[in-house]
Amino acid sequence: MPLFQQDPQAQSTVVGDRVVLLHRLTQTTIIINPTGSRLWELLAEPHSVADLAAALQEIHEGLTPERAGVDATAFLDSLLAQGLLIRHG
């Protein structure tokens, strides 16, 4: 099962309830919302899609496991595309 973790080249800056992520080499930036910010904090250590999906369900009551999995996968894909995550395994 692959694990995902923050890329060392990623810098995060908290402003209000959002986090600005910057890739130091490519200089690309994205802003993530409060839910994404909490997932980002988890990704300081390696975590799987299932781990993030479980976290989403804790944050949003009533979120189905299937929906949580889809959202967690989409979140990880967007960060991977920006080079902000590394994948283990």
- Which of 16, 61, 62, 66: binder of another protein (CB under 8 A)? 16
Show contacts with another protein in window 42-71 (CB under 8 A): 44
How many amino acids of this chain bind another protein (CB under 8 A)?
19
DSSP string, 75-89: HHHHHHHTT-EEEE-
Residue carrying structure tokens 């990704």: 43
Please give the structure tokens belonging to residue 10: 């990623």
Nearer to another protein by Cβ, of 37 and 48: the residue is 37
Torsion of CA 18, 25, 76, 42, to 10 degrees: -60
Q: Which residues bind another protein (CB under 8 A)?
A: 6, 10-16, 18-20, 22, 24, 27, 29, 31, 40-41, 44
